[in-house]
Structure 1
Amino acid sequence: MENLKVLIVEDELIIAEDMQMMLEQLGYSVTGIAISYTEAIKILEFELPDIVMVDINLKGKETGIDLARTINERFEIPFIFITSNMDRMTIDEAKLTQPSSYLLKPFKAQHLYAAIEVALSNTSEGQKQENKEPDENAHLIKDSLFVKKNHHFVKIKIEDIYYIKADGNYLEIICEEEKFLIRSTLKNFMNRLPVSDFFQTHKSYIVNLNFVEALSSNYVLILEEEVPLSRNSREMLLERTQRFS
């Protein structure tokens, strides 16, 4: 588990530094501040953040919209446009890049927090599945799950999840040192996990096969916990892998 990482791309340093202070107070990590398209690309290539704050009106040959296009083409991570005002032509051009959210200057910490939450929600996979409202406290994006903890989002790599337990419309996500509760059905969540690593052992359990320590007739052992294993699932598991044969 790690804090959500943010890159700030803003050519007014006072605004950028204020934004960094707000983000850090909210519990997020800032990977860097870039004042131009070129600087932003260098930072993105060195350390990929989870989200980028992009000033639309960057000074120089390449604008924030140019950077947004490159982010979409090369990095495929969510970004938030920052702006004080835009003419109609700029608005139409910005919309084509499909930003995850917008943030209007001047702004306060709560506006920044709301923009990030909207961006994660808009980027999250499977939000409209099963015709139900998305969980405002958890968002699955690419290979990571972003879960709200102490009023900010933390990042959990999917590969670090040990197993998942269903309880009605909620799931308990078990990692090495912590547990997280999110709103989702087991079926919906399973459909968004890598098939090669995760396996449903029981109507209420999904396990990460990389952490299975042992297999018995009615359970698999993970973290010294006996996770239930149904008869049909056991047969499927034995067919799928030779490690337990």
Structure 2
Amino acid sequence: MSTIKILIVEDELIIAEDISLELENLGYEVIGIATNYDEATVLFKNHHPDVILVDILISGEKDGIDLARTIRKKEDVPIIFLTSHADKGTVERAKQVNPDAYLVKPFERADLFAAIEIAFFNYVNKKPAEKSDMIVEEKNNFVLKDSIFIKKDYLLIKVRFDEIKWLKAEGNYIELYCPDKKHLVRSSMREFLAKLPAALFVQTHKSYAVNLSHIDSIDHSTVYIGKEEIPIGRTFVDHLKRILNIEL
């Protein structure tokens, strides 16, 4: 499981390390600190951050605005500008690359948190026509092509589809069982399965669904995933046999 991954682009290392510490304390994952345009493009290519914090006046021939323009051409990712300068000229130039937020240094921890959460929320909440690889879902869960972001307290937690072994309905909640953790989502089984790829997940019981890629063995009444035994309900057995092209 991974939280929102953030790239910091800041040439003043003391400031960058302070920001990194604040982000980690807030529960985010910092994938790296870049001090210039070239370092930032390499880190972006190698780690695919979910959000980028960019100081406008970084060292080198190309500044933070140039970096944002380059990244925007490659991928639509939330970009938050950091700067000590809020003059009209800088702001007007920054506006040309449509940043998702603009923080003037020094800023408070609460301002940083709010900027990231709002920028990321707006990113995942864009219309499908604006983002072909994303499906917008209900307010607490956002679905990407290979993962889902689940709201937990004040953070959005990314859970990859291939990490989910099976699901169990408990009242008004769904428990997601993953290799190292269990997640709790407020939803019905039917609603939540609609967010998941049908080619990967199948319901086996009114209260259970499984990830087909994690099935180790199966008999007429049970799906086995490791040491776990997932029941197969009578009303679901025929559908399961068709999906797996087997006879039980």
Relative to the length of structure 1, the TM-score reads: 0.76
The residue that corresponds to 1:74 in the other structure is 74
Q: Which amino acid in structure 2 is aligned with residue 196 of structure 1?
A: A
The residue that corresponds to 1:52 in the other structure is 52
Q: Which amino acid in structure 1 is aligned with residue 201 of structure 2?
A: F
The residue that corresponds to 1:22 in the other structure is 22
Aligned: 1:106 with 2:103: no
Shift of 1:12: 3.5
**RMSD of Structure 2 on Structure 1 (CA):** 3.2
User: CA contact under 8 A between 2:201 and 2:210: conserved in structure 1?
Assistant: yes
Aligned: 1:209 with 2:212: yes
User: CA contact under 8 A between 2:135 and 2:142: conserved in structure 1?
Assistant: no
User: CA contact under 8 A between 1:123 and 1:141: conserved in structure 2?
Assistant: no
For 1:64 and 1:142, the matched residues in 2 are separated by 29
Change over 3 Å in CA distance of 1:168–1:15 after alignment to 2: same
For 1:234 and 1:76, the matched residues in 2 are separated by 43
User: CA contact under 8 A between 1:120 and 1:139: conserved in structure 2?
Assistant: no
> What is the correspondence of 1:19-168 to structure 2 with a 5 Å cutoff?
19-58=19-58, 60-84=60-84, 85=86, 87=88, 89-90=92-93, 92-95=95-98, 99=100, 101-124=101-124, 126-127=135-136, 129=137, 134-135=139-140, 139-147=142-150, 154-167=157-170
Query: Which consecutive residues of structure 1, in runs of 5 or more, have no partner in the other structure?
Result: none
Query: Which consecutive residues of structure 2, in runs of 5 or more, have no partner in the other structure?
Result: 125-133
User: CA contact under 8 A between 1:217 and 1:231: conserved in structure 2?
Assistant: no
Q: Which amino acid in structure 2 is aligned with residue 233 of structure 1?
A: F
C-alpha distance after superposition, 1:110-164 (max 9, x if no partner): 322233322332333554x4xx5x12xx544443344466865554322111112
Report the secondary structure of 2:223's partner residue.
Answer: strand
User: CA contact under 8 A between 2:215 and 2:223: conserved in structure 1?
Assistant: yes
User: CA contact under 8 A between 1:6 and 1:28: conserved in structure 2?
Assistant: yes
Change over 3 Å in CA distance of 1:50–1:116 after alignment to 2: same
Report the secondary structure of 2:44's partner residue.
Answer: helix
Aligned length: 236
User: CA contact under 8 A between 2:72 and 2:97: conserved in structure 1?
Assistant: no
Say which is worse superposed, 114-123 or 40-49, in terms of deviation.
114-123
Change over 3 Å in CA distance of 1:205–1:64 after alignment to 2: farther
Structure 1's consecutive aligned runs of 4 or more residues displaced over 6 angstroms after TM superposition are none
Residue 197 (structure 2) aligned to one of 194, 198, 204: 194
Say which is worse superposed, 70-79 or 26-35, in terms of deviation.
70-79
For 2:162 and 2:178, the matched residues in 1 are separated by 10
C-alpha distance after superposition, 1:190-226 (max 9, x if no partner): 3332332212334443311111233333442334333
Shift of 1:102: 4.4
Q: Identity percentage over the alignment?
A: 41
Report the secondary structure of 2:33's partner residue.
Answer: strand
